[in-house]
Amino acid sequence: MKNIVLIGFMGTGKSTIGRELSRRTSWKFLDMDQLIEKEQGRTIPEIFAAEGEEYFRQLERDLVKRLSEKSRLIISTGGGTAKNPDNVADLKKKGVVICLYADVDDIYARTSRRGRRPVLDQYEDRRQAIVELLAQRQPMYDQADYKVSTSNTNLNDVCNEIIRLAKR
Ligand code: S3P
C-alpha cells in the first residue's frame, strides 16, 4: 500500500482523519502544518505575519520534497499545499492522494475561530472568502486521485472509504 496523502481545503478534516487513519494502519502520521511549526519554532500565523505567504509556501515545498521520499506514512497537508502542482506530483510518487471536501457551511463552522488561519483572517466576510477560495482552488484539488466527502458522514465511514481506495 502507498502512503495516504490528504489534501483539501481548510476545515475538511485532514488532521482529524489523518490521525485516525494512522491509528488504524499503524503507519506514522505526519501533519505538515504541525511539522513546519515544530521546525520553525513558531506558529503558522506567526510565520505568515513575519515572513509572508511566499516564505511559508517555500517551507511547504521543501517539506514535501523530503516527505515524498518516505514510505508507510499518513500525511495531512495544509489547505494550500496543492496550490503548487509540483507538490502534488511529488506526493503522488509514493502516495495515493485523497482530496477531502465538505459543504461550505461545515467548512465555515469548522474554521470559525479567528487567529488560526491567516489566509481566511485576511477577509472581512469569512463565508464569502471560503466560497471564492474554494472556487479558485478547485482545479488544484482536482489533481487528487480520489475525492471523499466529510459532510453528512462520520469519521468511521470516511476512514473505511479512504482505506478501501488506498488498497485499490
Ligand atoms: C492554508 C491552510 C492551513 C495552513 C495555512 C495556509 C491555506 O492549513 O497550511 O494557514 O492556504 O489553505 P489547514 O488546511 O490545515 O487549515
| pLDDT tens, position by position, 93-135 | 999 999 999 999 999 999 998 889 999 999 999 999 999 999 9
Domain ranges across the chain? 3-157
Q: Kind and range of the H or E element at 74?
A: strand 73-76
The CATH homologous superfamily to which domain 3-157 belongs is P-loop containing nucleotide triphosphate hydrolases (3.40.50.300)
List, chain by chain if needed, residues with CB within 6 Å of any ligand 1 atom.
Answer: 10, 14, 33, 44, 78-80, 117-119
Closest atom of ligand 1 to 14 CA is: 15
50: helix, strand or coil: helix
Burial track 47-62 (b if 16+ CB lie within 10 A, e otherwise): bbeeeeeeebbebbee
Tens-digit pLDDT profile for residues 46-97: 999 999 999 999 999 999 999 999 999 999 999 999 999 999 999 999 999 9
**Residue 145 CA: distances (Å) to CA of 39, 47, 73, 126:** 29, 31, 17, 29
Integer Cα distance of 138 and 1 in angstroms: 27
